[in-house]
Structure 1
Amino acid sequence: MTEQGTGWTGGQNAFGDFAPGLVHYTDKVLFDEVWERDSLTKRDRSLVTVSALTALGKTDQLGFHLAFARQNGVTDDELKEAILHLAFYAGWPAGMAAMTALKKIIEEDA
């Protein structure tokens, strides 16, 4: 963790002055503190986050975190395999929705 933070502004970009509390906890606590802890790599945190969002069917947030996982070193093949595995534990519709989101991200990046 750093004293100054990472400069993350995703909450601010999404909500500006509309929801200052959510902006604070997103930018300063979640991304400046939790994501910067040393106990897990950002790559591992991304896999955990993608897994949780897939299992919960939270596709609005999943798109961002699939792209973020790729930035954090998770390969497309690893994401595909994780989603396939999750489909059996989280439910087939959740797996299909997550794979659809990943396919869209990969195709947009091509």
Structure 2
Amino acid sequence: MNDNINSGLNHFAALSGDYGAKALAPIKENFPELAEFIMGSAYGDIFQRNTIGDDWKEIAIISALISMGQFDQLGVHYVMALSVGMSVEQIKGILLHLTPCLGAPRVISAFNVLLATLEEIDYSTIRQNNI
């Protein structure tokens, strides 16, 4: 396995913990080439660059996913946002600021994913351990 893929897997695991591992498992098992591409290119390269902070990276990705109506990956990025120090209130602030541009129905869907994600994870553990 190439260094970028290993580095990407480590970076992804550090940010998303068990929640991310659970989300990635079916991709790794059924479409390993896609998992290698994502881990090598996104997490092994782009996500490790320092041009913007980790919180800004998650703001950008959360906003992009919601604007595209791609809610399946939101949970992982909510967990990552929390693990890099963002608060639930800040994530809700992102959602609120997207509402005039994207509309309430899309933001409500994104908020429902946030609620479901918070129910599934132990938020206090993320904040204490930074995953």
Name 1:89's counterpart in structure 2. 101
Aligned counterpart, 2:69:
57
Alignment map for 1:1-110 (pairs within 5 Å): 5-6=7-8, 7=10, 8=12, 13-108=25-120, 109=122
For residues 4-52 of structure 1, the C-alpha deviation after alignment (integer angstroms, 9 at most, x for no partner) is 6242475863323532321111111111101001101111101110111
Preserved contact between residue 80 and residue 99 of structure 1 (Cα < 8 Å): yes
Structure 1 unaligned residues grouped into runs of 5+:
none
Q: For residue 73 of structure 2, what is the amino acid of its counterpart?
A: Q
Partner Cα distance (1:52, 1:103) in 2? 19
Deviations 1:33-78 (A, max 9, x none): 0100110111110111011111111111111111111111111000
What residue is the counterpart of 2:126 in the other structure? none
Q: Is the 8 A contact 1:12 1:27 kept in 2?
A: no
RMSD over aligned Cα, in angstroms? 2.3
Identical residues among aligned pairs (%): 23
Higher helix share: 2
Q: TM-score w.r.t. structure 2 length? A: 0.72
**Across the two proteins, how many residue pairs are aligned to each other?**
109
Distance 1:13 1:56 in 2: 24
Using CA pairs under 8 Å that are at least 6 residues apart, name the structure with larger relative contact order, 1 or 2.
Answer: 2
Write the distance in 1 (CA, Å) between the matches of 2:110 and 2:89. Answer: 14
Give the TM-score, by structure 1 length: 0.84
